[in-house]
Amino acid sequence: MTIFPLLNYWPDTYGVVAYATTGRFGDTAVGGYLPIPDVPDVYLLDVAGRNAVGASSTKDMDWVLCTIWSSRATPKPGSLDLPEAAWTLRVDASRSRPESLYGHTSLHVGRFTLDDPGLMERASGVLAAAPRAAACGGGGAS
């Protein structure tokens, strides 16, 4: 499992998201938010709807797969890699696609919980370690 910060709403509303795999050879991606007190929940397909482009019928799923897979391939500062963490997902939605993308043909998204309370506490620290995007604007010369 990889846990990382994700910009939920521009310019400064972040949430904590996790990515895991399951199924035969990891062909099913599992992505979701971790419930952290005082941190907004991140509904990945909603974020995808605000950011995905193109006309593909799977564009929202593709955006989520790209985002969560990339979190493991190129971890953000402060991300956690927990290869042996036990977890549960309350599924909000499931999607599938005819061809594999990032090694996945299926996606489940929803609300993650980690079985170990100590790991949940570590996960809540991901936001403190994450660099923040600077808001655009201001007057200076470039």
Q: Which position has the higher pLDDT, 77 or 116?
A: 116
Per-residue model confidence as pLDDT tens digits over 12-60: 899 999 999 998 889 999 999 999 999 999 999 999 999 999 999 999 9
Residues in contact with 101: Cβ distance below 8 Å, sequence separation at least 6, in sequence order:
58, 62, 65, 66
Domain ranges of the chain: 2-129
pTM for the model stands at 0.88
Asked whether 63 and 43 are in contact (CB, 8 A), the reply is no
